[in-house]
């Protein structure tokens, strides 16, 4: 590829010439193969470079020409000039340098040591008093800040697969509780087929159900068809509903997309007296300027957003209000209803729906995983070899099939159904101890040449100890600590101190500006002893911080994990007393459901029965 004059002589010239970046069309493509491009010849710098290019590849990103990866407007870098400066920096840094990034803009390079991260990021952070969308947009317009969702700005997004297992586990837990563990012959209705919501149809199909999902954007529907997450679609509501009911009657697992506003679909279901078995939502309600109001096409919405954003906001909130009111009606008619963490309930509540929170959040079903330190651990082949991912699938099945058959079943399903986007990747909910064990094995395989090249590890910020989000991940904590923000900061500090290849601290992902702070990391396992040493530290303290966070909130299962797996908590005896108290308080105050109350009471009984076998307070 010919290189424009302004880029000649710059470090990025090599990547332009090789076709990985076209500055004229603003096209970015994944870098594969074993050749190193960074001048240091160090995979600890090549890794973040490749993950940055990966998240902006057209097969991965939602709107790559505007640097948007997913989640409404979640960016990988603040501007194209900043992207180019980040790339130049990574290409020319040495192995003791650390690049500092502020809201997608590179601000400094410091010489530290090989034990420190190569990149440190803080994205979209605002002082709490000023943390709302209006102030954020004003600062964004001045070029001072940008929005990076969770894994977009952390260069850790792996395509729709990244949320697929979380969706599978959440809806699967609902199926376990309400339908005997299967969705066969069940109808699940939702909306949102973007890069996150697009996981819904395949997850439902994997669980044996019928998915009927609305989206207003034909491009998103087609993208999910192309990537294998959606089976079919129509722009006719009557036809879509008939197809779904026919599949339900025949107990055929399938997924159907319908080009329609979520409100229009729910109005139609209520009019026809059709009650879904499960009802949820994954529209981008966290950002009112990304949620399309009823009555507008995507094109009309884009025009109004530019010409009169205030009017757009009013229309969006009015539609969200109606959206939740309709969900409440279907809930009252018997649909198992929950919000999938997009802040839709809060938007509707602010618009006047006083009973919006009769709809529970996704943590009603997902919390037990977090109590064990389980979460969306993920990895990619940095050289782009899908066979490396399949080899690691086999390793995991060998390790965990007997201990955790559900996890093994997930891996087999992912192997069968998931199409890779960008660099080949996998996500698996591994817990405390399991991540370090797996990381050690991977490091040895890279060192022995059993894999084609280094492996990048990371996770979603939606994890057990890395986020404070009172309307999603930390909703309904036993001790009422939903809004305590120390935990994600401590998680970020621990992963930085442990020596992750890069660490990220973000604001606003999932539920929007003012409603969440969260942390992430990237760790390149390149077969060297130093990388392995750092990785094992990260893979212990990262999920371990989730166990500790939940233990301090009073969850008996977390206390059990801490005792039995050697997580040292100085005041663990005090936390046992706290657990007994807060379980009763949380139920009495209506902050947890009866199901959760009975579950954690049972966990407490098991903990008390097993406690006599614990040798020391720290179980050293």
**pLDDT tens digit sequence for 521-541:** 999 999 999 999 999 999 999
CA distance 521 to 119: 10
Q: Does some domain include residue 398?
A: yes
- The confidence score (pLDDT) of residue 612 equals 81
Nearest to 160, CA basis, from 70, 97, 100, 239: 70
Establish if 72 belongs to a structural domain.
Answer: no
Find the mean pLDDT for residues 550-567: 96
Same domain, 205 and 324: yes
Over residues 409-434, the pLDDT tens digits come to 899 999 999 999 999 999 999 999 99
pLDDT, one tens digit per residue, over 213-243 is 999 999 999 999 999 999 999 999 999 999 9
Tell me: do 332 and 402 sit in the same domain: no
The three-point CA angle 420-424-430 to 5° equals: 100
Verify that 196 and 130 share a domain, yes or no: no
Q: What is the pLDDT of residue 465?
A: 97
- Torsion on CA atoms 30, 35, 37, 43, rounded to nearest 10: 90
For the chain, the helix, strand and coil percentages under 3-state DSSP, each to the nearest 5: 45, 15, 40
Q: How many CB atoms lie within 10 A of CB 9?
A: 8
Quick one: which of 150, 469, 479 has its CA closest to 339? 469
Task: Place 616 in a pLDDT band, splitting at 50, 70 and 90.
Answer: low
Buried residues in 316-352 as b, exposed as e (16+ CB within 10 A): bbbbbbbbbbbbbbbbeeebbbbbbbbbbbbbbbebe
Structure tokens at 414: 């992912």
Average pLDDT over residues 141-165: 96
Q: Is the pLDDT of residue 618 over 80?
A: no
Question: For the segment 173-204, what is each residue's pLDDT rounded down to a tens digit?
Answer: 999 999 999 999 999 999 999 989 999 999 99
Burial category of 299 from C-beta neighbours within 10 Å (exposed 0-12, middle 13-18, buried 19 and up): exposed
Q: Is 565 helix (H, G, I), strand (E, B) or coil?
A: helix
pLDDT at 103 over 80: yes
Q: For the chain, give the mean pLDDT.
A: 96
Strand 119-123 relative to strand 97-102, pairing: parallel
Average pLDDT over residues 74-86: 98
CATH number for the domain including 260? 3.40.50.10730
How far, in Å, CA of 186 to CA of 178, rounded? 11
- Considering the domain architecture, whether residues 129 and 255 belong to the same structural domain is answered as no
Residues 318 and 181 in one domain: yes
Based on the fold, state whether residues 439 and 576 are members of the same structural domain: yes
Which pLDDT belongs to residue 615? 64
Q: Which band of pLDDT confidence, cut at 50, 70 and 90, is reported for residue 308? A: very high
For residues 274-298, one letter each, b for 16 or more C-beta atoms within 10 angstroms of the residue's C-beta and e for the rest, the string is: bbbbbbbbbbbbbbbbbbbbbebee
In the chain, the number of structural domains is: 3
Rounded to an integer, the average pLDDT of 588-593 is: 96
352 shares its domain with 382: no
Report DSSP letters for 212-273, one per residue. Answer: EEEES-HHHHHHHHHTTS--EEES-HHHHHHHHHHHHHTT--EEEEEES-HHHHHHHHHHTT
Stretch 9-34: mean pLDDT: 98
Which residue reads 């995983």 in tokens?
369
The pLDDT score that the predictor gives to residue 613 is 80
Tokens of 359: 């709809």
Give the distance between the most distant pair of CA atoms in the chain: 73
Q: Which of 7-21, 278-292, 332-346, 603-617 has the lowest mean pLDDT?
A: 603-617
**Domain final residue, candidates 361, 389, 416:** 361
Hey, what's the torsion of the CAs at 287, 290, 291, 293, to 10 degrees? 130
Q: Are residues 95 and 215 in the same domain?
A: no
In a domain, 107, yes or no: yes
User: What is the average per-residue pLDDT within 79-87?
Assistant: 98
Q: Are residues 574 and 429 in the same domain?
A: yes
Q: In the prediction, which pLDDT does 617 show?
A: 52
- What does the block give as tokens for 65? 């020409």
- Does 68 reside within a domain? no
Q: Do the beta carbons of residue 371 and residue 602 sit within 8 Å?
A: no
Residue 619 has pLDDT above 50, yes or no: no
Determine the Cα–Cα distance for residues 213 and 280; give it in Å rounded to an integer.
10
- Gyration radius (Cα) of the chain, Å: 23
**What pairs with residue 232 in β-bridges?**
256
Q: Which of 361, 390, 408 is the last residue of a domain?
A: 361
Q: Which of 308, 327, 361 is the last residue of a domain?
A: 361
By the 8 A CB rule, do 414 and 406 touch?
A: no
> Is the domain of 486 the same as that of 608?
yes
CATH of the domain at 472: 3.40.1770.10
Q: 215 lies in a domain? A: yes
% pLDDT > 70, the chain: 99
Instruction: Give pLDDT tens digits for 373-415.
Output: 999 999 999 999 999 999 999 999 999 988 888 888 899 999 9
Q: Which domain range does residue 481 map to?
A: 365-613
Together in a domain, 320 and 205 = yes
* Residue range 480-524, pLDDT digits in tens: 999 999 999 999 999 999 999 999 999 999 999 999 999 999 999
Taking residues 254-269, report their average pLDDT: 98
- Shared domain check, 347 and 204: yes
Question: Would 461 be classed as within a structural domain?
Answer: yes
- DSSP SS3 for 33: coil
- Of residues 418, 387, 425, 393, the one with CA closest to residue 408: 393
Cβ-based neighbours of 307, under 8 Å, separated by 6 or more: none
- Domain for residue 503, yes or no? yes
Note whether 466 and 546 are within 8 A (CB): yes
User: What's the residue count for the chain?
Assistant: 620
> Is 608 domain-assigned?
yes
């Amino acid at each position: 590829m010919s290189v424009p004059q302004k880029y000649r002589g710059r470090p990025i010239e090599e990547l332009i010439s090789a076709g990985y970046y076209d500055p004229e069309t603003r096209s970015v493509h994944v870098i594969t193969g074993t050749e190193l491009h960074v001048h240091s010849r160090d995979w600890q710098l090549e890794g973040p470079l490749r993950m940055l290019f990966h998240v902006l590849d057209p097969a991965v990103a939602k709107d790559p020409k505007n640097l948007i990866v997913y989640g409404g407007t979640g960016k990988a870098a603040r501007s194209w000039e900043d992207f180019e400066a980040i790339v130049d920096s990574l290409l020319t840094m040495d192995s003791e340098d650390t690049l500092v990034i502020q809201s997608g803009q590179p601000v400094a390079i410091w010489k530290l040591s090989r034990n420190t991260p190569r990149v440190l990021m803080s994205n979209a952070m605002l002082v709490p008093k000023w943390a709302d969308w209006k102030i954020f947009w004003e600062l964004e317009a001045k070029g001072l800040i940008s929005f990076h969702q969770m894994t977009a700005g952390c260069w850790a997004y792996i395509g729709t697969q990244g949320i697929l297992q979380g969706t599978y586990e959440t809806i699967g837990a609902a199926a376990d509780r309400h339908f005997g563990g299967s969705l066969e012959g069940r109808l699940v209705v939702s909306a949102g087929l973007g890069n996150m919501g697009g996981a819904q149809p395949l997850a439902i199909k994997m669980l044996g159900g019928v998915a009927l999902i609305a989206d207003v954007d034909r491009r998103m529907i087609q993208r999910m068809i192309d990537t294998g997450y959606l089976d079919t679609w129509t722009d006719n509501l009557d036809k879509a509903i008939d197809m779904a009911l026919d599949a339900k009657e025949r107990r055929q697992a399938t997924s159907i997309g319908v080009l329609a506003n979520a409100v229009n679909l729910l109005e139609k279901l209520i009019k026809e007296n059709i009650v879904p078995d499960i009802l949820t939502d994954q529209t981008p309600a966290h950002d009112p300027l990304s949620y399309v109001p009823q009555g507008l096409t995507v094109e009309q919405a884009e025009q109004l957003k530019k010409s009169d954003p205030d009017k757009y906001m009013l229309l969006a909130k009015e539609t969200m209000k109606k959206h939740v009111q309709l969900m409440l009606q279907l809930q009252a008619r018997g649909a198992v209803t929950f919000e999938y963490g997009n802040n839709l309930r809060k938007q509707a509540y602010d618009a006047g729906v006083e009973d919006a929170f009769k709809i529970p959040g996704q943590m009603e079903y997902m919390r037990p995983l977090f109590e064990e330190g389980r979460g969306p651990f993920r990895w990619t082949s940095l050289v782009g070899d899908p066979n490396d991912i399949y080899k690691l699938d086999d390793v995991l099945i060998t390790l965990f099939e007997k201990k955790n058959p559900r996890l093994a079943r997930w891996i087999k399903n992912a192997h069968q159904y998931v199409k890779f986007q960008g660099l080949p990747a996998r996500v698996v909910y591994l817990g405390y101890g399991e991540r370090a064990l797996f990381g050690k094995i991977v490091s040895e395989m890279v060192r022995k040449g059993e894999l084609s090249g280094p492996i990048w590890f990371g996770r979603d910020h939606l994890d057990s100890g890395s986020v404070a989000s009172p309307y999603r991940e930390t909703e309904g904590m036993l001790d009422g600590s939903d809004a305590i923000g120390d935990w994600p900061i401590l998680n970020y500090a621990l992963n930085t101190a442990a020596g992750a290849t890069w660490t990220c601290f973000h604001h606003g992902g999932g539920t929007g500006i003012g409603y969440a702070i969260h942390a992430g990391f990237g760790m390149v396992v390149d077969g060297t002893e130093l990388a392995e040493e750092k990785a094992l530290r990260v893979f212990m303290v990262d999920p371990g911080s989730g166990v500790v966070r939940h233990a301090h909130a009073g969850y008996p299962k977390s206390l059990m994990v801490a005792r039995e797996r050697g997580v040292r908590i100085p005041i663990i005896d005090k936390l046992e007393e706290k657990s007994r108290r807060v379980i009763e308080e949380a139920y009495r105050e209506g902050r947890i459901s009866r199901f959760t109350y009975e579950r954690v009471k049972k966990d407490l009984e098991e903990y008390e029965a097993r406690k006599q076998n614990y040798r020391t307070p720290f179980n050293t």
